[in-house]
Amino acid sequence: MGRGGAAEVVDAADCAVQEVVVALGAGDGEGLPAAPRAGAVPRGFEPVAAVECRLAALALVPGPAPELVPELGAPAVPGDGDVGPAVPGGGDDGPAVPGDAAGARVPPGSTVEAPALPGVVEGAPAAPGPSATELPEPTSPGVRIDAVRLEGDLGPLLAQLRRPDVAARPDQACMAMFQAVPVLYLVDADGRAVRVTWPTDACGFLREGAIESVATLTEVDRDELTLP
């Protein structure tokens, strides 16, 4: 059989594997198990359905992520055009000293001790509050893969999979581009699965008609998987 021989028969189709993530351009699949060996449909294997692994979307899963926390006691910095609170007896000599009936002014660059707030005892321990260790657990983006079960007439799909690869000529000129290749398992009546390879043209792209053979099948179930 072509394209590296027959595919490995496994107990079930599994989209949460390294090769699926890599094939879909969603990362290197680090930490995931390896996929079963892909290849041609083994002799005697009778598929009744297909399972396609599709890239769905980004999801949020627990993980480390940077989080900005304002420094306690840091002064507020007004933006351009911000207008501060009005100062009684306004002028350019600085704000009035609190509690000064004469409205004395503070020269620029000087400091003034703020009056104590009612009910506040100097030197009292601070009230308990949230700490950095109590912040909500941050999140980081994860990859969501959909395992889509497809049923219908598998004849056109199997006919495509049986087509041989087209050999490249010595002077073959090919366009440099990325092509999304369907990651597909075939499943038999017992739930066993094989991961198939696709016939390619002289430039290594899918032969015409391969994608269309998958599109003729009907989705009957979808299992959403969120991968780290």
Cβ–Cβ under 8 Å, residues 51 and 147: yes
Q: What's residue 83's pLDDT?
A: 47
Q: What are phi and psi of 117, to 5 degrees?
A: -80, 145
The yes-or-no verdict on residue 96 having pLDDT over 90 is no
What is the mean pLDDT of the segment spanning 29-42?
A: 90
For residue 147, list its beta bridge partners. 53, 223
The yes-or-no verdict on residue 176 having pLDDT over 80 is yes
What is the mean pLDDT of the segment spanning 198-206?
A: 88
Q: What's residue 2's pLDDT?
A: 45
Q: What's residue 8's pLDDT?
A: 96
Local confidence band at 124 (pLDDT 50, 70, 90 cut-offs): low
Helix-strand-coil split of the chain, %, nearest 5: 10, 25, 65
The yes-or-no verdict on residue 84 having pLDDT over 80 is no
The domain segmentation of the chain, as residue ranges, is 9-63+139-227
What is the mean pLDDT of the segment spanning 184-213?
A: 92
The C-alpha atoms of residue 22 and residue 16 are separated, in whole angstroms, by 11
Cβ–Cβ under 8 Å, residues 125 and 50: no
The yes-or-no verdict on residue 226 having pLDDT over 90 is no
Q: What's residue 69's pLDDT?
A: 52
The yes-or-no verdict on residue 126 having pLDDT over 90 is no
Higher per-residue pLDDT: 130 or 196:
196
What is the mean pLDDT of the segment spanning 69-89?
A: 50
Local confidence band at 59 (pLDDT 50, 70, 90 cut-offs): very low
What is the mean pLDDT of the segment spanning 68-96?
A: 50
Higher per-residue pLDDT: 227 or 90:
227
DSSP H helices in 25-166: 155-161
Could you tell me the pTM of the whole model? Answer: 0.62
Higher per-residue pLDDT: 213 or 104:
213
Higher per-residue pLDDT: 55 or 58:
55
Local confidence band at 39 (pLDDT 50, 70, 90 cut-offs): very high
Local confidence band at 225 (pLDDT 50, 70, 90 cut-offs): confident
